[in-house]
Structure 1
Amino acid sequence: MPRRRTLQDLADAAGLSLAATSYALRGVRGSPGTIRRVRQLADELGYTVDPIARALASGRTGSVGVSGSLRDLWQQDLSVMLTQALRRRGRYATIADADADPSQERLIVEQFVAQRVDGAVVSPVDPSAAYWRLLDPAVAVVAIGDALTSRPGTGSVLFDNRWGVQTALAHLASLGHRRVGLLAPALPSTPGRPAEVLAVEVAATLGLKLVPFSAPAATNAAVTVAAGLLSDPNQVTAVFCLSDSLAFAVYQAARDLGVQVPAELSVIGYDDHQLAALVNPGLTTMAWDEDAIVEAAVSQLVGLLEDEPPQTPVFRPELILRASTTHPS
């Protein structure tokens, strides 16, 4: 039986030191040509990383936890993009579904602790929760969207939700809407999230009457809540959804109730998921630069693992106008 190829074998073939070979293999250091050459040699030699040996040698497992509410379509896509970007950096992800539920999110944090992950990239349900401190300070953590205020030293890729919420609601106000429903991806047990709090503040400054509703993150599960919001035809003339998944639920509820979008109800989302341009009518929404967000999060995580100080890049969404918003009838 042929022996297992070692990192030393790969280093000898590449004519590099062990450290340089390891860095190139993980894509964290070295020229693009060196990285390509080392990875090609690894394939030719049949070299694969022994996770147990790596953990014993470095004290790290090479694994990263990724947490988000995966029944939300945009977060599904973001999680896949994160795992692909981590894999390119020689890291392997374990994806966990928080399902917009703080109690589930706590279990995920405990699971990451038990798995001894090197790091975690999270889209937090409750960014202020104390359970984030369960992750050892040596674990590199990057939060996407909102900062983990209870865990010092955590990296952040922040969203300028004030800009996003202000832009979305100002668009509805400019069209003449004054009674606007707010559909937020949260359970009754979920504390007020920053975007929701901002929506209430911004609506007051714009002279809008905001009618807030909380709904499950999944589109099919949120249809009933959306139907409740639309059951009174005089209650709202527009709905602002804090995810495109919820906007699609409003579309379904409106169709079931015979309410025409946008003639009788304007709808605006918050993600620009790839389906937003495909539904009928096309969904007006706030778009994020997902590629840049993923790159910022993964680069920051790798930096934290190399003892670099955390950073806080801030991303601002862009209003994408489609056919789902118009003047109230």
Structure 2
Amino acid sequence: MSRQHPRRTLQDLATAAGLSLAATSYALRGVRGSPETIRRVRELADELGYTVDPIARALASGRTGSVGVSGSLRDLWQQDLSVLLTRALRSRGRQATIADADADPAQERLIVEQFAAQRVDGAIVSPADPSATYWRLLEPRVAVVSIGDALTERPGSGCVLFDNEYGVTTALRHLAELGHRRVAMLAPSLPSTPGRPSELLAPRIADEIGLNLRVVPAPAATAEAVAVVSELLATADRPSGLFCLSDSLAFAAYHAARATGLRIPDDLSVIGYDDHQLAALVSPGLTTMAWDEDAIVESAVAQLIDEAPAPPPFRPELVGRGSTSAPRFP
């Protein structure tokens, strides 16, 4: 009967590398030390069969090295954002746990409770309900950064905000300048907050630029949104322009338009709000508002780890493609 080899410790690895425990730990995580030292320590760890015991590390340091990432993953842009956040956190020696809030505050509360139970060191969230009190369940020691809206019930949390008034104004003005007057806006069915371009913000802007705007709530999931858009396009007073507050909703509009025999942009102009990577691949290409995703991720991670100050709200840029044109019947 073979004897089981004892578990290698960080001290074993430090002795083999000829470094202090702290220097070995830093090099192993890639957060400090020369590239040669980091490479040598990791190679020695593989040779010795050393693996990090997360429970022991948490007990010793009071920290787990893990960060919770939460968003509504049926939205394509938030999927991509979660991937970018995971990569950025990994490059800083953190491991991400991704959770899907599914645009549901009840599910989001369960996720917050889960993060608290797992004793995550931090969380980066795209909140379904930024005004909920359940954000207080995360201890004060846990750094939290929200993307899109500030967590009003958890003062002191970091945030990456968007200049949605500028984005909505730019998109609606683009349709108005093309000659559209009857426009609908598809908005995700989420709790309304001051930071979101909700039914309070968009109609005011539309009125100022002379548009007859109808706000239509829609599910975040593309497939479920198709039925909502199809019903909208079947009405006698259907809009000639459609502004979608996510590219996922815009892709639903493409499907619904074709199902009802409408051509884009001849019969219906469509604008999205993410510049997801698929926006340039659909036919015709989707006109949309683009965000600087790399800068958004960099700011969120810097606030979480380095306690960097929050930047001014990010402004999107209009990317014109083939999905918008002058209406056939002004």
TM over 0.5: yes
Q: C-alpha deviations, 1:133-172, integer Å up to 9, x for none? A: 1211111111112211221121112222222212111111
Partner of 1:144: helix, strand, or coil? strand
CA shift at 1:30, angstroms?
3.7
What residue number does 2:142 align with?
139
Partner of 2:197: helix, strand, or coil? helix
Counterpart mapping for 1:62-73 below 5 A: 62-73=65-76
Counterpart mapping for 1:86-101 below 5 A: 86-101=89-104
Count residues in correspondence. 323
Whether 1:121 aligns to 2:124 is yes
Distance in 1, matches of 2:45 and 2:164, equals 44
- The answer on whether the counterparts of 1:71 and 1:217 sit within 8 Å (CA) in structure 2 is yes
Counterpart mapping for 1:191-270 below 5 A: 191-192=192-193, 194-196=196-198, 197-270=200-273
1:77 pairs, out of 60, 80, 103, with 80
What residue number does 1:57 align with?
60
Q: C-alpha deviations, 1:7-56, integer Å up to 9, x for none? A: 22333344432223323333333445544444444334332211010110
What residue number does 1:168 align with?
171
What residue number does 2:279 align with?
276
Distance in 1, matches of 2:207 and 2:47, equals 64
Partner of 2:270: helix, strand, or coil? strand
Q: C-alpha deviations, 1:199-220, integer Å up to 9, x for none? A: 2332222121211111111100
Distance in 1, matches of 2:161 and 2:14, equals 40
- The answer on whether the counterparts of 2:64 and 2:119 sit within 8 Å (CA) in structure 1 is yes
Distance in 1, matches of 2:217 and 2:88, equals 32
What residue number does 2:322 align with?
323
Larger Rg: 2
Distance in 1, matches of 2:184 and 2:177, equals 16
Q: Where does the alignment leave 5 or more consecutive residues of structure 1 unmatched? A: none
Distance in 2, matches of 1:168 and 1:179, equals 14
TM-score when normalising by structure 1: 0.91
Name the Cα RMSD after superposition: 2.0
- The answer on whether the counterparts of 1:25 and 1:90 sit within 8 Å (CA) in structure 2 is no
Distance in 2, matches of 1:150 and 1:312, equals 20
- CA 21–300 in structure 1, closer or farther in 2 if over 3 Å, else same: farther
- CA 10–146 in structure 1, closer or farther in 2 if over 3 Å, else same: same
What residue identity is the alignment partner of 1:219?
T
Counterpart mapping for 1:281-292 below 5 A: 281-292=284-295
Q: C-alpha deviations, 1:65-84, integer Å up to 9, x for none? A: 11100001111111122222
Distance in 2, matches of 1:312 and 1:137, equals 22
- The answer on whether the counterparts of 1:153 and 1:310 sit within 8 Å (CA) in structure 2 is no
Distance in 2, matches of 1:199 and 1:11, equals 60
Distance in 2, matches of 1:258 and 1:95, equals 39
Partner of 2:165: helix, strand, or coil? helix
- CA 261–25 in structure 1, closer or farther in 2 if over 3 Å, else same: same
Q: Where does the alignment leave 5 or more consecutive residues of structure 2 unmatched? A: none
Distance in 2, matches of 1:204 and 1:85, equals 41
What residue identity is the alignment partner of 1:314?
P
- CA 112–261 in structure 1, closer or farther in 2 if over 3 Å, else same: same
Distance in 2, matches of 1:46 and 1:106, equals 39
Distance in 1, matches of 2:36 and 2:271, equals 46
CA shift at 1:264, angstroms?
0.7
- CA 178–34 in structure 1, closer or farther in 2 if over 3 Å, else same: farther
CA shift at 1:95, angstroms?
1.5
Deviates more, 1:277-286 or 1:16-25: 16-25
Distance in 2, matches of 1:271 and 1:225, equals 20
- The answer on whether the counterparts of 1:155 and 1:312 sit within 8 Å (CA) in structure 2 is no
- The answer on whether the counterparts of 2:299 and 2:311 sit within 8 Å (CA) in structure 1 is no
